[in-house]
Homo-oligomer: A and B are copies of this chain.
Amino acid sequence: MKTAPAHDRADLSVLGHELHALVTELYPICRSITGDGLRETLRRLQRFVALTMHEVPTGTRVFDWTVPPEWNIRDAYVKNSGGERVIDFQKSNLHVVSYSVPVHEKMGLEELKTHLFTLPDCPDWIPYRTSYYKRNWGFCLSHRQLLGLPEDEYEVCIDASLENGHLTYGEVYLPGDTTDEILISSHVCHPSLANDNLSGLAIACFLARYISQLPRKYSYRFLFIPGTIGAITWLCVNESRVSRIKHGLVLAGVGDVGALSYKKSRQGDREIDRVAVHVLRQFGPKSRILEFSPYGYDERQYCSPGFNLAVGRLSRTPHGTFPEYHTSADNLNFVDPCALGESFSACVSIFSILERNRAYVNTSPKCEPQLGERGLYRMMGGSAEDNTNEMAMLWVLNLSDGEHSLLEIAERAQLSFDSIYYAAAALKEHGLLKDALSGVKIRHGRGAGLD
């Protein structure tokens, strides 16, 4: 199987470096769940795709939640009595607890420490912390730095604002032959964390650009949203259109060198789940399939019982299982161009199968049709040679009773989707297959462009 239908290995390497360059460009911006950092990030994506920015006012009720005040930060520091910035937001935006209320005070070390967060087990790394829904302020720093702070009078300053404003999110909608949608969702609310948020949004952005140039059966909707509150807001604002989403993929943590992993949807056996399992199997034995759990990224919201969408999640090493998670070590070195390229390729493979998966009916179902006289079968009999193409044709003919999709045939035949797909195409060309009429679960449009 071609793992990346439109990209060979060299293309993927180029693409991986382009993805890494985009991650690098966006890395310094201080994003949060609202504010100008998020807007600036989305604006830069508009260079690649026709992304629409939406603004939802503070105070808007979205299901059980309320859109919070908008947070913006200009500067923050802790100065010692000598006027030296011992903690400096300008050096790393992780130093400030996200959504910290403004503060400008002097205090001793003891009081200051109640607002400081470190990682004693990883003494050189700065942790990432937030306080979205409780008014608070704080600084994050390396544990080694904390240990070096002497008793002193410190000047603490967070020059931030927390005011009525908007929650911002980006959306790219690519109409297809049908209004059935594939949803791709990535979060864009983390500051300088490379794998956690930047890897996903970079790949989603490039996928949107790539798919926009291809004919397609499905419509595609890409969401670039702040985690949790963004997904909740989008689902609330677009509730009437949610039923169009037939398949979905959350992209999160797709840039590290760990193997690919797929977390199943709440239902666990939907087409997206089977397709992703099929694709990941072809990315090697280290690929992992994870059962659904109600923790993680925005699949939590898409798979809440009131929506229960067929949305899974593609990641590499699952979040929370690597020490760099939510620390300053999730930096540009932690994200690998090859891994980014491979994750992109896996997404394309998944969409390509979704586009092409359908069920056929064998027009000659009683006994095998004579493939040889149609030039579809070897003419010299007796050889014991294995022949994947012929086996693929025999499987397609045998199981094309209108009830088995090409993917199901590939699974049972233990062959790649592509070999089954091309066998079906050859058989159809010779009039040996016709479209299945039922087509409720698996519809057909015109020729897909993702093959």
List chain A positions with a Cβ less than 8 A from chain B: 62-65, 97-98, 127-134, 136, 228, 231-232, 235-236, 239, 266, 293-295, 300-301, 303-307, 319-320, 325-326, 362, 364-370, 372-373, 379-384, 391, 394-395, 397-401, 413
In contact, A379 and B133 (Cβ under 8 angstroms): yes
A300, B129: Cα distance in complex, Å: 61
Top 7 A-B pairs, shortest CB-CB distance: A306-B365, A306-B366, A294-B398, A130-B381, A294-B394, A64-B369, A134-B379
Q: Can you spell out 12 A-B residue pairs with CB atoms less than 8 angstroms apart?
A: A63-B366, A127-B382, A131-B381, A133-B372, A134-B380, A266-B398, A295-B391, A295-B394, A300-B368, A304-B366, A304-B367, A325-B384
In contact, B64 and A395 (Cβ under 8 angstroms): no
Which residue of the partner chain B has the closest CB to A373?
B133
Shortest CB distance A268–B (Å): 10
In contact, B397 and A294 (Cβ under 8 angstroms): yes
A128, B384: Cα distance in complex, Å: 10
Chain B residues positioned under 8 Å from A379 (CB to CB): 131, 133-134, 136
Chain B residues positioned under 8 Å from A382 (CB to CB): 98, 127-130, 326
Chain B residues positioned under 8 Å from A303 (CB to CB): 398
In contact, B134 and A304 (Cβ under 8 angstroms): no
In contact, B133 and A383 (Cβ under 8 angstroms): no
A409, B204: Cα distance in complex, Å: 34
A325, B325: Cα distance in complex, Å: 57
Q: Which of B132, B365, B369, B394 contacts A381 (CB 8 A)?
A: B132
Chain B residues positioned under 8 Å from A300 (CB to CB): 368, 394, 398
A133, B372: Cα distance in complex, Å: 7
With contacts A131-B380, A326-B383, A382-B326 taken as known, whether A305 is within 8 angstroms of B365 at the C-beta atoms is yes
Chain B residues positioned under 8 Å from A368 (CB to CB): 64, 228, 232, 294, 300-301, 304
Chain B residues positioned under 8 Å from A97 (CB to CB): 380
A424, B109: Cα distance in complex, Å: 42
Chain B residues positioned under 8 Å from A127 (CB to CB): 382-383
With contacts A300-B394, A384-B320, A384-B325 taken as known, whether A401 is within 8 angstroms of B366 at the C-beta atoms is no
Chain B residues positioned under 8 Å from A401 (CB to CB): 305
Shortest CB distance A436–B (Å): 12
Residue with the greatest number of chain B CB neighbours at <10 A, chosen from A295, A320, A381, A397: A381
Shortest CB distance A171–B (Å): 18
In contact, A370 and B129 (Cβ under 8 angstroms): no
Which residue of the partner chain B has the closest CB to A266?
B398
A62, B367: Cα distance in complex, Å: 10
With contacts A64-B364, A300-B394, A398-B266 taken as known, whether A129 is within 8 angstroms of B380 at the C-beta atoms is yes
Shortest CB distance A32–B (Å): 11
A319, B386: Cα distance in complex, Å: 12
Chain B residues positioned under 8 Å from A65 (CB to CB): 367, 370
Which residue of the partner chain B has the closest CB to A33?
B381
Residue with the greatest number of chain B CB neighbours at <10 A, chosen from A305, A373, A395, A401: A305
Q: Which of B129, B232, B391 contacts A367 (CB 8 A)?
A: B232
Shortest CB distance A56–B (Å): 15
A32, B421: Cα distance in complex, Å: 35
Q: A133-B379, A293-B395, A294-B368 are in contact. List 10 more A-B contacts (CB 8 A).
A: A65-B367, A127-B382, A130-B380, A134-B380, A294-B399, A303-B398, A305-B365, A305-B400, A306-B366, A307-B367
With contacts A294-B395, A391-B295, A394-B295 taken as known, whether A384 is within 8 angstroms of B232 at the C-beta atoms is no
Shortest CB distance A267–B (Å): 12
Chain B residues positioned under 8 Å from A239 (CB to CB): 366
Which residue of the partner chain B has the closest CB to A131?
B380
